[in-house]
Amino acid sequence: MDLSQIFSAYQLGGISLENRFVMAPMTRSRATPLGNVPNELMATYYVQRAGAGLIITEATQISLQGQGYAHTPGIYTLEQILGWKLITKAVHDAGGKIFLQLWHVGRVSSSKVNGLQPVAPSAILAKETSVYIFDGAPNCDATFVPVEEPREMTLEEIEQTTQDYVQASKNAIEAGFDGVEIHGANGYLIDQFLRSNSNQRTDEYGGTRENRIQFLLKVAQAIAAAIGKEKTGVRLSPFIKFKDMDDPEILETIMLASEKLNHLDIAYLHLSEADWEDAPEIPLDFRVKLRATFKNTIIATGNKTPEQGEELLVQDLADLIGFGRKFISNPNYPERVKNNLELAEIKDTHTLFGGGGARGYTDY
């Protein structure tokens, strides 16, 4: 199949991308444990993958409260900012572009991770949901522990968390990032506000769909004002229900949020699409309606082949195509696709989340 679209250049706001391949956010838990600081090993990992038109980093907590898993990087201390500067400089020197994904896990956490009780829109436990720590298990494996019941956020805490997002976005720009992506997907804090089953508040942030999208809009507007709308993206996951997030109203809620985000004129919407074999496909009519609703860039990320991505581009249903695990085992993935080279497979799933430093991380 002709892949001319996916290998064509693209203008993302004021940023020129060499191709339409996006390296999608993937948690790898290689930050220096003391302080959750990005490091030189992570810089090697990202610069190896700078052939992507755009890199979106692993999810990065905006505060200690926002952390849900062990050894994930932050963007709220000076040491973390300096650590990320190593990475952005390396990627830019290699000709790449890189956005930082801003993360608050909300109720998907445990005091065993950060010493704090989780917070959420409502005090509702996420059933059958776990997070991981490292406690000396064999083979450097992560040990999974159940999440704990959260406490409901006060209005003051909502304001503070909004400011944490804003400060994190400013820190990201100081660290040299080309922009930020607000993680509003996959069952984490902003997604918890969007869904009626996890948000049962009775104030201005809960109840109706219009109210449930207010926290997302508040954060997006504040970040856009702080660093520029052209440097602000949002990730959403309309068809993903894991982490106890099955909400019958979510499609209408996300479409309403997309309409409002369009008015904010942010850089892009990023669809997090399920990547397991029997996962639900995003229906064509949803993609068509989203394209009509949101005028700027749309990124589609899931278990797609380059050919499937090309088809979405040709049909004008997406502008950029995200790939996740293919970039783990194929650092030069776009080059391999372009030259029809054999693709490497992931060697050892033990190394996906932490588990051995460079092994399974920078040695492909």
Q: What is the DSSP string of 164-213?
A: HHHHHHHHHHHTT-SEEEEE--TTSHHHHHH-TTT----STTSSSHHHHT
**pLDDT tens per residue, range 62-101:** 999 999 999 999 999 999 999 999 999 999 999 999 999 9
Query: One of 46, 188, 333, 361 is an active-site residue; which one?
Result: 188
- In this predicted structure, the answer to whether residue 108 has a pLDDT above a threshold of 70 is yes
Residue 333 a catalytic site member: no
**pLDDT tens per residue, range 47-64:** 999 999 999 999 999 999
Q: What is the mean pLDDT of residues 234-245?
A: 94
**pLDDT tens per residue, range 157-196:** 999 999 999 999 999 999 999 999 999 999 999 999 999 9
Domains annotated on the chain, with CATH: 10-351 (3.20.20.70)
Element containing residue 237 per DSSP (H, E)? none
Predicted confidence band of residue 306 (pLDDT cuts 50, 70, 90): very high
Handedness of CA 343, 346, 347, 351 (dihedral sign): positive
- Of 336, 328, 337, nearest to 362 (Cα)? 328
**pLDDT tens per residue, range 124-151:** 999 999 999 998 666 667 899 999 999 9
- 85 versus 356: which is more confidently predicted? 85
Q: What is the mean pLDDT of residues 317-338?
A: 98
Q: How far apart are alpha carbons 68 and 6 in whole angstroms? A: 34
Q: How far apart are alpha carbons 82 and 116 in whole angstroms? A: 25
> CB–CB of 214/184 below 8 Å?
no
Q: Residues near 312 by Cβ (< 8 Å), separated by ≥ 6? A: 287, 300, 304, 318, 321
Residue type, 44: T
Specify whether the backbone of 245 is left (phi greater than 0), alpha (psi in -120 to 50) or beta: alpha
Q: How far apart are alpha carbons 253 and 209 in whole angstroms? A: 6
